[in-house]
Structure 1
Amino acid sequence: MFDSAHLDRAAEILAARHQRDFALERALGGRFGVLEECRTLLEQAWEDGSRGAVAVRGGAVTGYLLARAGEGQRGRHCWTLPQCAAYALDEGPVVLKRLYAHLSGQWVADGRLHHYTEPPAADLPLWLTLGFGHEQVHGIMDVSAKTLVEAPRGVRLADPADIDALQPLLGLINEAHAAPPVFAFTDQPMWDILRSGHLELLNDPTVAYWVSEGQDSIDGFVVMRPVPDDESSILKPRGSVELFLASTAPHARGTGVGRRLTEWALADAAHRGFTVCVTGWRATNPLSSVFWPNRGFRPVAYRLHRILDPRLTGPEHVSGL
């Protein structure tokens, strides 16, 4: 099993993986190609309760897989963070398949039937062969070449006084995620915090909350939030900006409102000194899964989900003779 004595070797494997991913996507930055940075990431995951196993060949660790057990809205689950699954590149991804086979039996025995993992794009095929499905896409883009020209008509920065005008748009993301074909569960607290959450963003001087005004209403918004240093990660480079939220009123969809707002927000971010923007979207959302790649965001990682048959933990299940 994985223990703290494996942290150094695991950090070497993770750093090599990031060097591969950085070569494929330069916007990720090279920070996590450095051994010390990777060890810090893994130490934090270990301290936060991620546990798992290592693969060994000839006395050398060739891969590792860690997961953190959890409860709550996502049910009894095990969650593998982006830094918590990696293999020596000369061994190949089959190492992770064997580690998952080794660990997942105990997860199921513990009643943890929801399994989550967040692999880099290069490792996606491996996890799909293990029965995982797409849930979230993590995207990134270089915005350094974006230039400000003139704000589109009706586009301006919002302030807290706009909250009532924004109210009809605040729940649109939740509604889209609850609807087919996404079918994401949303509990009442997620709705209860919408207004206060947007007010917090509107009051944050570091946030650029852009809106597009129509004739009688606000037709859309895009929220750009700098990634705090303590939230920077393999998927969110230090010093990047996050396209945190965006929505367009149903009556304004197809008119170019969302495209103009996004292009302006990205150009403004570049003007403010940001070179990289990150965002995420539900893979099953038919609107966002087209819109964000068309704006230039490239997938660099995925959140995948596998849910197992609940009868596996019931008395009717026969595991063998």
Structure 2
Amino acid sequence: MRIVPLEDGFVEQAAALLSRAHAPAAAGAEEGAGGWDIADAEVARRAVAGWWGTGPAVAAVRDGGLVGFMAAVAPAFPGEPTARVRLTQHASVVADRRAIYRALYEALSGQLTAIGAFSHTVAVPAGARDTVTCFFELGFGVDQIRGFRPVPDARTPEARPPAPRTPDGAAAVPGVRLRPARGADVDRLLELTVELQHFHALPPALRPALVDPRAIRDGFLAALGDDRQLLLVAERRGQPVGMMQAGPDSSHTDAATIGIAVVTASSRLAGVGSALLSGVGEWARERGFRRYGAEWTSANRVSDAFWRGRGMVPTQLKLTRLIDSRVAWADAAMTYDTSPRARPRRARPRTARTASPAQAAKVTWPARPGSSVWTGRAAGEAGARARALGLTARAARPGGRRAPAPWPTASS
């Protein structure tokens, strides 16, 4: 088996691998696969074509045929540390799946860290136990969970929503009323979203509370004018105290997904969230969806208990690996004087430089004639451009050797 750049000639083979990996009860599909749009060969082909050439990508080849591939959405700008491997950007044959994935990630991770991406995420089906275990063994952990449940059916008691609505629109929770959002609600919905981000910044989730108010406001306004989406508000005493936004799911067939879901702190444990979920379930049923679901942070105990307690079965995991960025300078090229008389000195990293917009524009993925593909040469060129801007602490020397580190080492 050889690991090579993912070239144009592999497009159809990659799409076929992806489709087989997510087809239910098909040869090559893992246990728990199924219900994915990309199980359809044509959908898989369009998905592969959509990300082809947009970032680093590697292939595993055996006897001239493709047996696995892995690609990533690289950071959009210098300084952004996260590279993402989407669900449609990796697949392998059943035989030697563990060895194939380990070899693919070894090759891809080196390219990602070379451009300053030290946070790697990968989306995998929750039921794909072999793949999940493989990434666990590579240092990844569960970050986000996506789960689904059947839409409510009055004829099936076990599928009924947790808090049915009455015919006049009032939820069966004392003092709580559900209604569609209005334009006048946008400011209050934005406040609730900011509150949610502040909650995520608390232990144990500890996620930075980074909010783009303008983008969130624009998203709400777009949802208000989109018949395919639901923006549902829960009121207590005439004031919005919670909301859920839902729309068609982008990965699963016949499914709706909940985007933003929040209940203000003073109204938690009062049935507001259950009432909102009931409203979303009824909306999904009326639109002909068979399932509806949500995504939540694994470390968020409140969200995890709420969604799982209301029948959401995990179907997809987002796994994350955080790499110590000091490896950019404390690497194999670092030298130490190990003689007994040597005085130990601590290596000092070079101060990071912030690239100007003009400089940042130079660090881009290379275009190809007619289409684009990430090759080893192109990866090296992009890395060289990034290093020239001081975005990493590595400096190249002609002939492939590294130049001496620009800071004192333990032997200096």
- TM-score, length-scaled by structure 1: 0.85
Partner residue of 1:258 out of 267, 273, 277: 273
Based on CA coordinates, which of the two structures has the bigger radius of gyration?
2
1:12-51 correspondence to structure 2 within 5 Å:
12-20=16-24, 24=32, 28-29=35-36, 31-47=37-53, 49-51=54-56
Supply the distance in 1 between the matched residues of 2:52 and 2:142 (Cα, whole angstroms): 26
Alpha-carbon distance in structure 1 between the residues aligned to 2:78 and 2:195: 20
Residue 202 of structure 2 is matched in structure 1 by 179
Give the aligned residue type for 2:246: M
Q: Could you tell me how far apart the structure 1 residues matched to 2:79 and 2:179 are?
A: 37
**Alignment of 1:135 onto 2:139:** no
What RMSD over aligned residues (CA atoms) do the two structures have, in Å? 2.7
Structural mapping, 1:151-190, within 5 Å: 151-152=170-171, 153-166=176-189, 168-187=191-210, 190=212
The answer as to 2:8 corresponding to 1:4 is yes
Q: Which has the higher helix share?
A: 1
Q: Residues of 2 paired with 1:276 and 1:313: CA distance?
A: 45
Q: Tell me how many residue pairs correspond in the alignment.
A: 309
Deviates more, 1:167-176 or 1:123-132: 167-176
Alignment-derived partner of residue 108 in structure 2: 103
1:1-321 superposed matches below 5 A: 1-20=5-24, 24=32, 28-29=35-36, 31-47=37-53, 49-72=54-77, 75-121=80-126, 122=128, 123-143=131-151, 145=153, 150=166, 151-152=170-171, 153-166=176-189, 168-187=191-210, 190-215=212-237, 217-227=239-249, 232=250, 235-237=251-253, 239-314=254-329, 316-318=330-332
Q: Name the residue aligned to 2:339.
A: none
Q: Is the 8 A contact 1:74 1:114 kept in 2?
A: no
Is the 8 Å Cα contact of residues 165 and 217 (structure 1) preserved in structure 2? no
SS of residue paired to 1:174: helix
Could you tell me the TM-score, scaled by structure 2's length? 0.67
Give the letter aligned to residue 269 of structure 2: G
The letter of the residue matching 1:209 is L
Deviation, structure 1 residue 236: 3.8
Q: Give the whole-Å Cα distance in 1 for the aligned partners of 2:189 and 2:116.
A: 42
CA distance in 1, matches of 2:215, 2:305: 28
Gaps of at least 5 residues in structure 2 are: 154-158, 336-412
Q: Aligned pair in 2 of structure 1 residues 173, 22: CA closer, same or farther (>3 Å)?
A: farther
1:118, 1:304 within 8 Å by CA — same for their partners in 2? yes
Range moving further from structure 2, 244-253 or 269-278? 269-278
Seen in structure 2, the aligned counterparts of structure 1 residues 305 and 24 have a Cα distance that, compared at 3 Å, is closer
Indicate the structure whose relative CO is greater, using CA pairs within 8 Å and at least 6 residues apart: 1
Distance 1:15 1:206 in 2: 27
Question: How far apart are the structure 1 equivalents of 2:125 and 2:198?
Answer: 28
Residue 72 of structure 2 aligns to a residue in which SS?
A: strand
Q: What are structure 1's unaligned runs of at least 5 residues? A: none
How far apart, in 2, do the equivalents of 1:320 and 1:167 lie? 49
- Taking only the aligned residue pairs, the percentage that are identical comes to 25
